[in-house]
Structure 1
Amino acid sequence: MNKTEFVAALAQHGAMSKVDAEKLFQVFRHTLETELTVAGKIVLPGFLTIEVVDKPARKARNPATGQEIDVPAKKSVKIRAGKEFADKVNH
């Protein structure tokens, strides 16, 4: 499912127009981005836990040349499904 399909499904299930569903999606996305930047973690009990994690610098190898390269440290987003959500997906 891509974003367009998701917004259409959101509109259908939420009994709203696609324009309103798109606005809701944009607000949700903006809220996630803002809160992860500020707090670093969002917990939606039973659904998702989303957190920013630090990835340390490491050595890697260029597969084409075999040359060792330095990969800098960076931040990444980790998403874990809550138990209730995972149970619904698995049944």
Structure 2
Amino acid sequence: MATSKMEAFANATTQAFSSGNIALAQSYLDYINEKLPNAHPKEFEFIDVYYVEHLFWQASQKTKEMGWSLVPTKLHGKPAV
């Protein structure tokens, strides 16, 4: 059940980007980003696999380009370009 909740939260983040509600999407990303420093290894796995990997699933190219540029480096491991 927890995995589907993380995927639903990723979908909510993507939907916020898609609908132009960047502030809401950014608040979701910030929330997840704040959880990483103290995350238990299992929590980190859930964030990495069920949130980050699910972000922008089936989103438009425009949404992906806009959204990925705002994903904090800690969440995806690569500096934003």
TM-score, length of structure 1 as denominator length: 0.29
Relative contact order (C-alpha < 8 Å, sep 6+): which is higher?
2
Structure with the bigger percentage of strand = 1
Larger Rg: 1
